[in-house]
Structure 1
Amino acid sequence: MESTRTPCEPEVVVGFDDSPSARAALRWASRYARSAGLRLRAVHVLGQVPDPMAWVSSYDAAGYLGESPTPEDLEARIKDVVRQSFQALKPEPAWRLDFVGGSPGKTLINESRHSQLLVIGTREHTGIERLISGSVSHYCLSHSLRPIVAVPAPDDDERS
Structure 2
Amino acid sequence: MSEPTPKPAKAKKPSLTTQRRQARSYALQALYQWQMAGQPVNEIEAQFRVENDMRDTDVKLFGELLHGIAASKSELDTLFSDYLDRSVEDLDPIELTILRIGSFELLKRIEVPYRVAINESVELAKIFGATDSHRYVNGVLDKLAQKVRSAEVRAKR
| TM-score, normalisation: structure 2 | 0.30
The structure with the greater share of residues assigned to helix is 2
Bigger fraction of residues in strand: 1
Structure of higher CA gyration radius: 2
Using the size of structure 1 for normalisation, the TM-score is 0.30
Higher-RCO chain (CA-CA 8 Å, sequence separation at least 6): 1
